[in-house]
Structure formats: structure tokens, C-alpha cells
Structure 1
Amino acid sequence: DTVIGQDPVAGSRLEVGEQIVLRVSDGLAGVDLPDFAGMKGPEALKVLKTIGLLGEVEDVFDEQVVPGLIVGSAPAGGTRAAPGSTVKLRVSQGPEPRTVPEIVGRPVGEAIVELARAEFTVGEISRQFSPDQTPGTVLSSDPAPAAKAPRGQPVNLVVASAEQQAVVPDLVGLRSSSASKVAKAAGMTTAVTNLALVAGDPRVGLVISQTPVANTPGAAGTPIQITVGILLPSTTTTIAGASTTTSRPATTTTRG
């Protein structure tokens, strides 16, 4: 507190024991500032306007406060500001972005540890045939090393594989012979299971389903299990001079 006046004034003569009255400032005359912490920026600006103050937004990183909420203000809440003056509102932009570590060329296990230390999570790990690299070595990452990314963002890794990888072709709807050719062109084979269907079913002669499904990675030479529709076989039974024809379901498996 500051003394801003006195009575009697300085230089006056007083009797011993006579009282001197001091006038003490109780601080800046102005507007009491509320605590803006936790409020949204636009809401705080409206409050400032209603109490005759101006507002200025400053974006800051904060590890705890949700993005868009106010971390604090200057002058701080609970103090006073001169009428018409500007109050700076510090608005959280969330945690400061992290730098993706240099993990290319390192074993995938070490890369995962480094990502955790940098406060990232591990995203999708895909494998790529790379005869010049030790299997399990990280070939690339997304986001790339040295890139800035939000805390906790998944980082996808491509890891070296000793096996040639192939993409499973879509065989559903093809005839069995065509499916075998398409699979061979993709570096894979087929294992056929026949499913008996009734006459008139449009799926007769066609691939009905496959495992693994199309467009997924698989090792070269891996067989694709396909189910092909065939016409339900029929048998003839003679009863008392008359003959009847019945159909029996049949399932067979072949490889090609």
C-alpha cells in the first residue's frame, strides 16, 4: 500500500502525542477482473466488453487445459484494470506438438520404445519385401522422422520382410479356370472347394467366396481358398416300373 496524503501536512508543528492521519491508496482505481480460467475465448471477450474493457487473444500451448479454453489472463483474475484498458486472454491450443524420432533403420522393437518415449502411439505396422535389409528393420514411418505431430498420434511403420509379399486378387464372381490364372499371375495358387447348387442358380460355375479376402497382403505362393458353385448331382431311382430323379448335395475339394 502507498501513502498518498497526510494531515497535518509535512513540516507542520505538532504537540507530543498529537495524531497524524495518513491517506493510503487501496490500489488501482478501475474494474475488478473475474477469473477467466476455464472459460471459452468468445465468452470471455463478451464479459470484458460488458465491463468496459478490451480483450486480446493469445494462443498458447498447454499440457493440461483443453484446446479452446482460457489458461489465464494478464492482468490476472482478481486484480483491477483501468477502464478501457486491454486484457490479454491466453487460450490453450492443447499440448505442444512432438517431434517424430529418427527410427528408420532401427529394429521395430526399438522403434516402438522410442515412439512411446516421444509420447506417440504405434499405428499400423505393414511389411515390405526388402532383401537388402535385416528383417524387422523399419523402412519408413508416417509421419516421417523429424515431423511435428500432436501428442499421442499413431505413427504407421513399414518394416522389412524376408518374404516376397503379394496382394490377394479378387476372385469372387470369376469362373474357376479364370480364378486360377488370376491367382497365378499374382504369385499365388488356389485351393478349390465345390459347393453343390440347384439348377438355375446363377452362381453355378463361379467363385462364391475366397479366403483370404481380396486386396489383403499375403506371402507369395500362399494358396487362396475358393468356393466354386457346381450343379447339384442327381440320382435315378426305379420303383414298381416308374423312375424318379432326386438330387443330393455334394461337396468336393481340389487344388489348382
Structure 2
Amino acid sequence: MTTSQTDPMIGRLIDGRYQVRSRIARGGMATVYLATDLRLERRVAIKVMHGHLADDNTFKSRFVQEARSAARLAHPNVVNVFDQGQDSDMAYLVMEYLPGITLRDLLKDYGKLTPEQTIDIMEAVLSGLAAAHKAGIVHRDLKPENVLLADDGRIKIGDFGLARAASANTATGQALLGTIAYLSPELVTRGVADARSDIYALGIMMYEMLTGTQPFHGEQPMQIAYQHANDPVPAPSSVNPAVPPELDELVLWATEKDPDRRPSDAREMLDRLLEAEKSIRGDAVVQPTMVLPPAFDIADGDTQIINPAIRQQVASSTPTATDTLTEAARRRRGKGWWLFALVLVLAAVAGGTGWYFGSGPGSFVTVPNVVSQAPATAAAELTNLGFKTAQAQEYSVTIPAGQVSSTDPKAGASANRGSTVTIRVSKGPQPVTIPALAGQNVDAAKAAITATGAKVGDVAQQFDAKVPANTVISAARASDGSDISGGGGYFQAAAVNLVVSVGPIPDVSGKTVSAATAALEKVGLHTTAGPQSYSDTIDKDDVISAQPQSQPVRPGDTVALETSRGPQPVPVPDVVGQTWDKAKAALQAAGFQLKYSSAADLLPGAFVVSKVSPDAGTQAPKGSTVTVNFAGF
């Protein structure tokens, strides 16, 4: 059964522009097809995300990331990305089509490569990666499958699907990214990747090219990961004695466990590789093979390239990648008359390329920061840099209404001269309505605030005998303190301050000072000595009450402890000479207990008080006992 019969994509017209011809390769995330761009009449490679991943935003974002990362690079050793889009539920990338093989295919066919072939491939890969590192991009998935060897001798890095900005170097919330055989120790142990992680992967690739095998093996992926994190990479010459010491040193340097001991980026490693190449090959080393893009149409199968021998156009006989590498290694050892001609041709190519990418249509320009400017001023600045402008609006809590709040692409990003930069103008904060919060449980109130798009500001605690603990007493705008306890209009992302009850101040009446202090400190209150007062019910030196020193009272505040001096003293009434009925009434009204002869209660009008103890007029505590004596007894 043919491929066209089994793959429904064959023959499909994508986005009204790309006619799918045949399938090139299939991976875990996408399938790559050969297609024809009907608009520009050229062959392209189109990568289509698998259908079962269409609803996964993570995979979609990787597709977009690959397009953006590769689009930032304009380098002969990086696969060009032309377009990115979505047709119905299908996400796709359109890339440059390179007929040929991958480095993995080459290693499968030949086992290992010669040092010269390894140098040729590594120079091209490091050149492309150096451009990526200079642009702040970390590839994070370098492996032989992602190194493309075109039939015309070009060598390019592809698949930037895992690439990220060099500053965003943490793989938080994701599994280890990349292929386990090429993961750096820091990615295995900490999930962190930067340019030096790419260098480690290149060191493993270089080892594999020189020896035909990977340095670490295991039945389970985690066994290999453990070796990457803990075991040193052996010298390639220990497996292949033909490897020169200069390449041994380069591999060991690139695969140091400590990232600080590796080359800082691909440019530093490339410089060391070129030094090693001079030592290995001698003075006959010249610049690496370069490709001269054709200036006119060439028939299918024809190629036009510049290499150290300045090959002439060869029709219908494109060499294989292996033949090209072998021929390049042989010819680079020689010197000849063509060196001067090569310099002239390369200078002409560099001049044309410099104009195109430096000031012509293919140049990249950094988007300036125009935030907080007036829209007209921002548009003028962008126009002067060669951009077209469009305008849109958005809510912003940080930029006043009428000023530029952001741009698309963002400030600092690189964009083609002549492309459109959208200026977004602030409409100010987005208005929202805050519901009534007073009386709600504090957690429910917080949820109600965040549900509107506002933020929870300060949450103050307050003692309140009338409001249960963990219940909102009041709410206010953080910006001006205005009360919105019963709800009201507000602005998105602004803050709402809450006052929450912690219940009443504990009742410490009748407790000792130490017991009262412990009870109050338990709820966050400090104590100080307060006044002393008479009390008929509280024992002397015990606490009568805890008196607030401020209103409202909040945890951390201080209360004064009012203590008892005991009952208040009063004068003993002068009842001497009075009959017992009158004297008894006066003494009891004054609050005294009485001690007397019980016989007096039989005829109270006949008994006359002759003496009281304590004496009449003397101060005595209420509730104390007064002894009464009668005349004639």
C-alpha cells in the first residue's frame, strides 16, 4: 500500500497555499511533509502537529516557540522557518526544504567519522549555534537527529521546538526536556539549562562522531541520566586511538560536570575548535565550506555552491553528504591559486548579504520601548525605524489612560524592517463591581474579591464582641480608604483592604494578675498595670477588668489591668443612745455585719445601745463586723 493511500495529508492543500506532496519523517510531536508553496512556486518542508495534540496548549506553544526562535536567526547553518499558522484544527510550520540526510543517518551508515569529517560538521554546527547563543536562544535539544546534511554539502541545525530565551533557563513544571543521551548534568539534577547545556550536548555528539558510540549506556533512561550527573565522560581516544589529543581535550572540556568549567557559549568552543584544527591540519587550513545562494533559477537537481575548490555548477549529479565531507577534508589540506579568487567571491557574497540583512528588506530591527509615550509619538519613533504601525486598546492598572501600555512584538524583540508593530493604548483600569463583604467569612470574602479581578490588600484583625471571629467587619478601597463594606464599583487588579474580627477580648474579671496576663497574651494582647479600685465582689489584688488603651483594639495592642483594693471603707454610724430597732437599721444600711445579744431582738424598742466597736465615726470596710453593747447588760 502506498504512502498516499495510508496518509490523508498527501495531496491536501493547507491554508490555500501549501500543496502536500509526500511524507519525509514522523516524530512524537509532528510529521514533516514535502510540499509546494503555490504562491512562490518553491518546495518547502511543512511540519504538521499530530491531531491528538491539537487541544494541548503546551504543544501548540512549542510550535509557536520554534517559529519565533528560528525566525530570529538569519544564519547559513540554521534551518530557515518561513511561516507558521493554523488550518482548521491543524497547527503547522513551514520550513526550508533540505534534501539529504541527518547526522544520525550518517552515523548509522558509517559507524564513526574521521577527525577531519568531525571537524567539518562541528564547525558548521558551532557556527549556527553561536548565532543562536548571541541572539539569546538556547536550543536545549541538540542531537544528531537535529543536524541536517544537505545533498549540496550544507550543514544546518534544525528543530528549535524546545528552544527558549537564555534568561528563561528553568524547566519548572515540566519533565526533563531533550533527549536523555545528551542531557547536561544540571538539567538532570536541577532542571536548569543555559548556553553551556548546549555545549555539553555538543560534547556528547562529538564523542559519538569520533567513536561511533555514546559514552553512557543503560537499560532505563534514569540509569543514563544518573551517569550524566555523576560519571566523567571518557576521552574518545580510549575507544578510538586515531582521535588526536586536541579533540580529546575539546570533548572533555565541553562535557565538564560543572557548567562554569565548560566553554561559556558556542563561539568560545568554535574558537578552540579552529585552534585545534590548525594544530591537526597544519597551515593549509582555510575557512569552512560556504554556500553561495543561486542568483538565477536552477533546474531540479542542479546545485551551485562555493567550497575551497570553487566547484562549478553540477547538473543532475548532486553528491551525497558523505562524499562532500570526504572531498572537503581532502581539498582543505592543499594550497593554490584559488585562494585569492575565493576571498574575492566571499567578499562579494558578504557585501550583498550584509546589505540585505543590514539595511535591506531582510534586516532585523529591535523594537524600542515606547511604553508611557503618547500614541502619536510612539508611532513616529517606530516609523522612523522602518516599521509599519497599527493601534489597539487594552486595560492597564499601571499606565494612565491614553498612553501606550505595550506593543506587539514586545519592546526588545527583533522584527523585520517593514513589519507591523501594534501599539496598544491604555484604557486605564478595568472597572469591576465588588460585592458586599461585611458579615462574610474572611475566606469567602477573599474569594469574592479575586473573582472580580481585584486583589486582596491588607487584612487587619480587630477585637469585636458583637462580630464572630473570622468574620469581615469592614472593607475599604486601598487607594483612598473609602468604605465599600456593602459593595461598590472598583477597578480590576486594585486592592481591597479588610478588617476581620478575632472575637471579644477575653473576660479576665476575678482572675489573678498572672492568670489574666497569660489569657490576654494568648490572643496577642500586651498588658500593663492599671488603676486600683474598691470592689465589694473582687478579692483584693485580683483583676477587676482589662481596660483598652486605644480603639479599636487589635492584636499587638496593650490593655491595662484594673485590680481590686477590696471593699471600700465607710464610717461606723453613731447609734449610741438609740433603741435597738433604730440602731440595727442604721448599721445594716451602712453595710456592716452585726454582733450583739440575741435577747435584744425580743424587745428591740426596749434595748438602748451603749457602745459600738469599732467606735462610732471610725472607717471600717463594708461587710466587716460591728459589735453592739446595750445599757444595763
Q: Structure 1 length as normaliser, TM-score? A: 0.43
Question: Which has the larger Rg?
Answer: 2
Larger RCO: 1 or 2 (CA < 8 Å, sep 6+)? 1
Q: Structure 2 length as normaliser, TM-score? A: 0.19
Greater fraction of residues in helix: 2
Greater fraction of residues in strand: 1
